[in-house]
């Protein structure tokens, strides 16, 4: 079958329109009832608490590697004492939010897509509509609220353990003074740096939930379709997280100047 640019463009624009409408409905459902609190808390437990071990491990060893690798570069300028500043800025502004979002995306965007995709191909979502329940309100909105809320705090935890990992390496391997490390860490962080990192977490959480649910709700083709939806959800959400990272960084630099 020959490739058609026109049909490809129409298909992608149609998917973008459906994604936008699903996201808009999920957001507007937050401001009206009924609210499925049990589903929200269940998703918070699954997404937030379930992702905690991998987020802690990723953040901690990222901080360790940052401190270890920065020593060589900083030694050339006689600025090894600034290791804490480099680690804290890198973790809070960039690596903490982005790596945490990518870990959560790999774990939960795929889970949402596979769970909702299985419900779609077994016609459970159609049965839900027949019983008068809005699938978007019941399935998408709780996942959106839980992901945005929990990713915000997971990012804070990742930043903290990353800075702690950098401190451990700096004190034990680089023979830096712990007080100096903590002082430079605190002194280098500005209000804008923290806002930038946490803003990325909010947008990333929105992206993970909406993309995962979109591919799950639009699954076709039985079990093979579920597998495709799972893969697409992870790939698309990860790419969108990277693109949003650049756009938010550019906007924050223009706004705060740092």
pLDDT for the residue 2: 54
* Whole-angstrom distance, CA of residue 258 vs CA of residue 62: 22
pLDDT for the residue 53: 92
Sign of CA dihedral 181, 186, 188, 189: positive
pLDDT for the residue 3: 62
Task: Print burial letters for 108-138: b (CB count within 10 Å at least 16), e (below 16).
Answer: bbbbbbbbbbbbbbeeebeeeeeeeeebbbe
pLDDT for the residue 258: 64
CA 237 and chain centroid, separation: 8
| 210 contacts 144 by C-beta, under 8 angstroms | yes
Q: Which of 7, 208, 20, 23 shows the shortest CA–CA distance to 101?
A: 208
The SS3 call for residue 122 is coil
Task: Please calculate the CA angle 28-102-110 and round it to the nearest 5 degrees.
Answer: 65
pLDDT for the residue 240: 94
Q: Kindly report whether the global pTM for this prediction surpasses the value 0.85.
A: yes
Residue-level pLDDT, tens digit, the chain, 258 residues: 556 777 878 888 888 888 899 889 999 988 887 888 898 999 999 888 889 999 999 999 999 998 888 877 777 777 777 788 888 888 998 899 999 999 999 888 888 888 888 888 888 888 888 888 888 888 899 999 999 999 999 999 999 999 999 889 888 888 888 888 888 888 888 888 888 899 999 999 999 999 999 998 888 877 788 888 888 999 999 999 999 999 999 998 888 766
Q: Which of 115, 127, 140, 121 shows the shortest CA–CA distance to 28?
A: 140
């Amino acid at each position: 079958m020959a490739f058609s640019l026109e049909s490809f463009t129409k298909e992608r624009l149609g998917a973008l329109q459906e994604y936008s409408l699903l996201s808009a409905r999920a957001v507007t459902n937050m401001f009206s009832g009924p609210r499925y609190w049990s589903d929200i808390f269940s998703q918070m437990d699954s997404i937030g608490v379930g992702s905690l071990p991998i987020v802690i491990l990723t953040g901690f060893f990222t901080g360790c590697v940052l401190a270890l690798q920065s020593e060589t570069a900083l030694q050339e300028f006689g600025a090894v004492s600034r290791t804490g500043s480099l680690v804290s800025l890198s973790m809070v502004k960039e690596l903490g939010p982005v790596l945490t979002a990518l870990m959560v995306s790999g774990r939960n965007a795929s889970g949402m897509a596979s769970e909702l995709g299985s419900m779609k191909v077994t016609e459970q979502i159609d049965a839900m509509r027949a019983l008068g329940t809005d699938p978007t309100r019941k399935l998408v909105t709780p996942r959106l609220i839980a992901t945005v809320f929990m990713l915000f705090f997971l990012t804070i935890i990742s930043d903290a353990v990353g800075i702690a990992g950098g401190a451990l390496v700096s004190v034990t391997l680089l023979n830096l003074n712990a007080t100096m490390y903590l002082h430079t860490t605190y002194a280098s962080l500005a209000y804008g740096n923290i806002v930038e990192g946490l803003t990325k977490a909010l947008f990333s959480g929105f992206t993970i939930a909406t993309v995962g649910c979109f591919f799950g709700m639009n699954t076709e083709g039985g079990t093979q379709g579920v597998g495709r939806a799972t893969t697409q959800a992870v790939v698309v959400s990860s790419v969108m997280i990277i693109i949003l990272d650049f756009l938010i960084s550019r906007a924050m630099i223009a706004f705060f100047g740092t």
